[in-house]
A = this chain, B = another copy of it.
């Protein structure tokens, strides 16, 4: 194994353990020592790869944002009518949710910390606005292709994003309460229907 590979591996191991611990116990409660221990890495190694504990957090946040962009472009270059694409998105979320429900927990940590850290706040706001813009764009494409009828695409996108965020939040807080993934599929389908969605 080359030096470069080894370095990347310990780095990603630190990130993985940190993400897990942040999601499960919270940022403040998670100590650097515990991350090092969990990753099988010394403190020296940790501070060799990251300048601070906070920098690990923002690295995770940026990874999320990058992943977001990847999914956006994947949907936008996909085929099928808009209602179908939305259904596919919901199904994708549902699948991820069932595979790794705890994956979403760290979102709460991002949001909570954004009240205290301006850098995190900027990223979360950016996240929200990009989702809003993305949804609006998708809806407008649906209108132009004739598969949707929406008067105020801005308002409709806000409604759609709110529903998604609300369900996500409930899924994070009360995982056992309902099958939130399936619910998101149903609710989004209902929403598409009420916007006069035609499957193709």
Contact = CB atoms under 8 A, between A and B. Distances in A.
A24 B113 CA distance: 10
Contacts of A68: none
B164 A114 contact: no
A116 interface: yes
Copies of the protein in its oligomer: 2
Interface residues of A, number: 42
A103 interface: no
A128 B173 contact: yes
A111 interface: yes
Most chain B CB within a 10 A radius of its CB, from A109, A124, A190: A190
A25 to B, nearest CB: 5
A98 to B, nearest CB: 18
Contacts of A24: 115-116
Instruction: Please report whether the interface of chain A is mostly helix, strand, loop or mixed according to DSSP.
Output: helix
B166 A116 contact: no
A111 B108 contact: yes
Interface stretch (A34-42, A55-63, A141-149, A153-161): A153-161
A66 interface: no
A143 B102 CA distance: 38
Contacts of A121: 173
A193 B186 CA distance: 20
Nearest first, the 7 closest Cβ-Cβ pairs linking A and B are A162-B166, A28-B28, A166-B166, A112-B112, A165-B166, A125-B174, A162-B167
Interface of A: 23-26, 28-29, 105, 108-109, 111-116, 121, 124-125, 128-129, 155, 158-159, 161-167, 169-170, 172-174, 177-178, 183, 186-187, 190, 194
24 contacts: A25-B116, A26-B112, A26-B113, A26-B115, A28-B29, A105-B115, A108-B111, A111-B112, A111-B169, A112-B112, A114-B173, A115-B172, A125-B173, A125-B177, A128-B173, A155-B183, A155-B186, A158-B187, A159-B163, A159-B190, A161-B170, A162-B162, A162-B163, A165-B170
